[in-house]
């Protein structure tokens, strides 16, 4: 039932594989809940029925963010059904999702990511060099997990990297000469040990890294370097953004570096930066109040 819709998401909408997998899971769950067996049966589902599903999700302790993603999948699915003239009724036009909790992105302090401190954590092995480079790539470029896994050797230059972001959008991110030399040295070492690959980071026989391995790597080292509760690769993306803003980067520039589609997604980091400015003010101004 979902095969043609998945093809549509892949070829026309160009959604990332991560999003496609999530949408497929969410829609499969809804179809099971609604006990729908044929496409035309979606015509019989009302907005009241869908609101009942939302209530069930809350009863199952699903968070607002998760529910809104499921509703986004269902909303996109109904738009496709209407576009293909497979249904005449779209109950999603009357559905409004719950408000998401506003939580500030977690990030590491600059003092926690001093080079000397981090260097002591890595093993003197090819795995240790890989882990160090993965950590630095996240922190120095702010790329996403999927973008790091898909990073190709041909897209590395001595001044920048080219990454393929959401919906196959390309962007160029500047890198330092030091980071370039680290990447270049690691690729040569990796080729000698694991064989050549089109990917910067790979397993034996040129296979790509898998997401859980990268999660474990970052979780290990962030846990050692910080006291953060969250220690995922995305925390380093948040850290990159926050540190850039704290040091004077403009929002438009940061938006381009992160590959955000609109400025509202970038503005969340201004909260963290304002907290930094407040702390500096309170400790340095004669009337700041904290000495």
Catalytic residue among 166, 171, 208, 215: 166
Check if 166 is active-site.
Answer: yes
CB atoms under 10 Å from CB of 236, counted, come to 27
Check if 14 is active-site.
Answer: no
Catalytic residue among 70, 144, 238, 243: 144
Q: What is the DSSP string of the chain?
A: --HHHHHHHHHTS---HHHHHHHHHHHHHHHHHHT--SGGGGGG--HHHHHHHHHHHHHTT--HHHHHHHHHHHHHHHHHHHHTTS-S--GGGG--PPPPP--PPP---GGGG-HHHHHTTS-SSHHHHHHHHHHHHHHHH---HHHHHT-BGGGB-SSEEEEE-GGG-EEEEE--HHHHHHHHHHHHHHHHHH---SBSSB-GGGPBP-HHHHHHHHHHHHHHH---S--SHHHHHHHHHHHHHHTT--HHHHHHHHT-SSHHHHTTHHHHHHHHHHHHHHHHSTTSS--
Catalytic residue among 23, 78, 221, 269: 269
Check if 260 is active-site.
Answer: yes
Catalytic residue among 237, 238, 243, 255: 237
Check if 144 is active-site.
Answer: yes
Check if 237 is active-site.
Answer: yes
Catalytic residue among 75, 129, 162, 234: 234
Catalytic residues: 144, 166, 234, 237, 260, 269
């Amino acid at each position: 039932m979902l095969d043609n819709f998945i093809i549509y998401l892949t070829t026309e909408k160009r959604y990332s594989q991560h999003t496609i997998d999530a949408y497929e899971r969410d829609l499969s769950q809804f179809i099971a809940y609604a006990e729908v067996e044929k496409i035309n049966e979606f015509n019989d589902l009302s907005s009241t029925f869908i609101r009942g599903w939302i209530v069930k999700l809350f009863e199952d302790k699903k968070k607002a963010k998760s529910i809104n993603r499921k509703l986004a999948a269902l909303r996109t699915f109904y738009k496709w059904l209407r576009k293909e003239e497979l249904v005449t009724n779209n109950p999603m036009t009357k559905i409004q999702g719950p408000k998401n909790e506003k939580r500030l992105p977690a990030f590491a302090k600059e003092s926690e990511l001093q080079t000397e401190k981090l260097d002591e954590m890595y093993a003197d092995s090819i795995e240790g060099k890989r882990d160090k480079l993965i950590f630095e790539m996240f922190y120095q470029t702010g790329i996403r997990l999927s973008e790091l896994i898909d990073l190709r050797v041909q897209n590395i230059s001595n001044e920048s990297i080219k990454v393929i972001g959401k919906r196959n959008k390309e962007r160029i991110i500047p890198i330092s000469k030091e980071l370039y030399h680290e990447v270049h040295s690691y690729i040569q070492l990796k080729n000698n040990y694991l064989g050549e690959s089109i990917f910067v980071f790979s397993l034996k026989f040129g296979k790509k890294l898998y997401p859980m391995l990268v999660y474990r790597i970052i979780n290990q080292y962030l846990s050692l370097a910080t006291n953060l509760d969250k220690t995922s690769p995305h925390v380093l993306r948040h850290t990159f953004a926050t540190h850039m803003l704290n040091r004077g980067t403009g929002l438009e520039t940061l938006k381009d570096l992160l590959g955000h589609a609109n400025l509202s997604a970038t503005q969340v980091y201004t909260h963290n930066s304002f907290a930094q400015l407040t702390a500096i003010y309170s400790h340095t101004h004669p009337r700041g109040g904290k000495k």
